[in-house]
Structure 1
Amino acid sequence: MEKRIAVLPGDGIGKEVTNGAVAVLNAIGERFNHQFHFSYGKIGGNAVDTDGTPLPDETIKLCKESDAVLLGAVGGPKWDRIEVKLRPEQGLLKIRKELELYANLRPTNYYRSLADSSPLRKEIIEGIDILMVRELTGGIYFGTPRERTQRDGEDGALDTLYYSRREIERVVRTAFELASTRNKKVTSVDKANVLESSRLWREVAEEIAKEFPEVKLEHMLVDNAAMQIIKNPKQFDVVVTENMFGDILSDEASVLTGSLGMQPSASISESGPYLYEPIHGSAPDIEGQNLANPIGAILSAAMMIRVSFGLTKEADAIEAAVNHVLDCGYRTADIAGAGTDVKKVSTTEMIEEIKAAILDTEALLKIQNCYS
């Protein structure tokens, strides 16, 4: 198989973690006889510095001509005071619009070897398997008008939260389709006791649920959902919610596994290439220090080859290799903890350990049998 992958390293540790994902994909190509062709584009602060825009036209063209997109991270304090339309985050929002990426899928899974890295007790998190489905192109992040204004002679600000029925329908239907292949439960998170947009969201969710009688639908207010994710995370299967709520709740859920650095994601569209990225930020405080955790980016690459390319056994191999390396005690700084058997490693060392597990044919078969 030959596939074209656009790589957008972005800012901060983005280059370091995407280097890891590319290295692991090359190992998969070698092990399973595939060819992945990587082309690089600019996004975020580095694009502002060189091109005067957070998303150059060349990057958009590159992404649209590729089979999938791998993104690192954008942003940093260096660009905090520049004009809003030039902020690195605007590049991220724009690429979502350009590729029509309407839903972001964020899995949260239990890693037995990282149980001590979580702030929650093992019995609370053991066995969790949550899939967050976050609407990605609507809501308050994209609504207009948005402006600084005055009211009664006092400075103020206005942001608009808007959703169309179609935007809600497509993301909720995606959640139900995914739940029908899992544990057949959808939790729709809203704020219907206050927000009109949430009342529409709830109405649409009820309508879509009729198409999937085998899937149970429950509604949950966002403040309760934030509490329940910590109190009883095992009650959740697929969680679907609007853009801002999903942004916040999926970051909260990442704490269950011990670190944002472990979390992958996939952003899907109705027609064009999908985009894959770890959910962590650019972490400029550790940029260039070889300290970043590359696993979120590597697992995003596993999602890519499974979802976009249909390479199930290859994706399983990456995930099994990650589990094996963690079980062997290898840890980057964010998940090192205080265990006596921990082998603290750098970003590049973690990448090499995962690659080695994939390329050792005999060992990989044993590893996959353990985690199948």
Structure 2
Amino acid sequence: MKEFKIAVIPGDGIGVEVTEQALKVLEKVCKKYDTKLNFTELKAGGCAIDDCGNPLPVETLEKCKKSDAVFLGAVGGPKWDDLPGKQRPEQALLGLRGGLGLYANLRPTKVFDELKSASPLKDSIIDKGVDILVVRELTGGIYFGEKGRKEVDGIYAAYDTELYTVDEIKRIAHCGFKAAMKRRKKLTSVDKANILESSRLWREVVEEVAKEYPEVEVNHLYVDNASMQLVRNPSQFDIILTSNMFGDILSDEASMISGSIGMLASASLREDNFGMYEPVHGSAPDIAGMNLANPLAQILSAAMMLEYSLGMSEAARDIENAVDVVLKEGYRTGDIYSEGAKKIGTKEMGELILSNI
């Protein structure tokens, strides 16, 4: 029997209940493949602030480092909005990404046939098929650059610095091209090279790395054009490769094409395939504990963990197929509900996925 150590961080709000359902799914599918997952529950985010005054306790980071993967629910909420920047729950995410060396964020966006009516885009647009993977650099750029406040000509001001090294760009570019080789062999690199020096370097390095992947069709878009093209003709994209800030914005825009961020998973990886897996959605404290949250993004994040970090592709397909079956049978949580569907809660959705594995 194979065994893996999984650090579990349910976090805040609905993170707790969607994680509970996903862990049940993981246990069942792994039992089928004679694999045992040893879960260690840890605190990070708002609950950690309440417990010890630190959004990312040292113990949490150290135990994550000793695990085979990290499974995260969601962090944050209005309860902690008034705290200073470095004390906010979201600092736990930055600390985990930086402390674990997770430099590549993978966010798939797929429009399920059964959920086309939930998409804000016209049928004539999404009928062409939408299956996009955003590959976002995660530990560099403006979020990690020098920042501060100072007086400029007697006026109080703030600044944030966008900085990328050649090596940082190279490693995320390789990640994007390798992903493209497994998909439709098309990569769009997004930057702002007409204005930003950091983007000019980005484009130069991506073009250099592209020479190592001659089978991949490469094009470049400025970020403003890319954001427009995402809603005008999303089917043109396969891999979108971009920087930390641009990726943050574009992946959220892409997520809305699917109709609900409650359906979207994500993975944050490093070279050895160690990763942290989490849904795209937030903690939604307004519906926490009410059996209303959609657990499918968390469950699909579990499938990504099996695929990328644990080398269990067949088990990942089992979970994805179970999700497809349940959607085809017409079951929906409130966020993806439409007239004629069967409306169910968080626990019921989890039970249905279990019954189809």
TM bucket normalised to smaller? over 0.9
Spell out the pairing of 1:247-258 with structure 2 (5 A cutoff).
247-258=248-259
Spell out the pairing of 1:46-61 with structure 2 (5 A cutoff).
46-61=47-62
- Percent identity between the two aligned chains: 57
Partner of 1:355: 354
TM-score using structure 2 length: 0.97
Spell out the pairing of 1:75-90 with structure 2 (5 A cutoff).
75-90=76-91
- Structure 2: gaps (5+ residues): none
Partner of 2:246: 245
Asked if 1:309 corresponds to 2:315, the answer is no
In structure 1, C-alpha distance between the alignment counterparts of 2:337 and 2:255, rounded to whole Å: 16
Partner of 2:132: 130
Question: Is contact 2:65–2:100 with CA below 8 Å preserved after alignment?
Answer: yes
Question: Is contact 1:63–1:69 with CA below 8 Å preserved after alignment?
Answer: yes
In structure 2, C-alpha distance between the alignment counterparts of 1:282 and 1:151, rounded to whole Å: 38
Partner of 1:108: 109
Question: Is contact 1:99–1:272 with CA below 8 Å preserved after alignment?
Answer: no
- Mark the CA change 1:64 to 1:248 in structure 2 (over 3 Å): closer, same or farther: same
Where 1:120 maps in the other structure, the secondary structure is: coil
Where 2:265 maps in the other structure, the secondary structure is: coil
Partner of 2:343: 344
Deviation at 1:272, TM superposition (A): 7.0
In structure 2, C-alpha distance between the alignment counterparts of 1:50 and 1:128, rounded to whole Å: 42
What's the C-alpha RMSD, in Å, of the aligned pairs?
1.1
Aligned positions, number:
355
In structure 1, C-alpha distance between the alignment counterparts of 2:325 and 2:272, rounded to whole Å: 36
Q: How big is each residue's C-alpha offset from its partner over 1:54-78, in whole Å with a ceiling of 9 and x where there is no partner?
A: 1111111111111111011111111
In structure 2, C-alpha distance between the alignment counterparts of 1:173 and 1:307, rounded to whole Å: 16
Deviation at 1:151, TM superposition (A): 1.7
Question: Is contact 2:273–2:309 with CA below 8 Å preserved after alignment?
Answer: no
In structure 1, C-alpha distance between the alignment counterparts of 2:60 and 2:330, rounded to whole Å: 39
Spell out the pairing of 1:1-372 with structure 2 (5 A cutoff).
1-126=2-127, 127-144=129-146, 146-271=147-272, 273-337=274-338, 339-340=339-340, 342-358=341-357
TM-score using structure 1 length: 0.93
- Structure 1: gaps (5+ residues): 359-372
Where 2:90 maps in the other structure, the secondary structure is: helix
In structure 1, C-alpha distance between the alignment counterparts of 2:186 and 2:265, rounded to whole Å: 22
Q: Which moved more, 1:29-38 or 1:277-286?
A: 29-38
Deviation at 1:30, TM superposition (A): 3.0
Q: How big is each residue's C-alpha offset from its partner over 1:116-144, in whole Å with a ceiling of 9 and x where there is no partner?
A: 11111233223211110000000111101
The one-letter amino acid paired with 1:326 is: L
Q: How big is each residue's C-alpha offset from its partner over 1:238-289, in whole Å with a ceiling of 9 and x where there is no partner?
A: 1100001101111111111110110001110124731111011111111111
Where 1:277 maps in the other structure, the secondary structure is: strand
In structure 2, C-alpha distance between the alignment counterparts of 1:335 and 1:207, rounded to whole Å: 43
The one-letter amino acid paired with 2:109 is: T
Where 2:292 maps in the other structure, the secondary structure is: coil
Q: How big is each residue's C-alpha offset from its partner over 1:191-242, in whole Å with a ceiling of 9 and x where there is no partner?
A: 1111110000000011001111111110001011111111101100111000
Deviation at 1:104, TM superposition (A): 0.2
The one-letter amino acid paired with 2:131 is: D
Question: Is contact 1:63–1:273 with CA below 8 Å preserved after alignment?
Answer: no
Where 1:220 maps in the other structure, the secondary structure is: strand
Where 2:187 maps in the other structure, the secondary structure is: strand
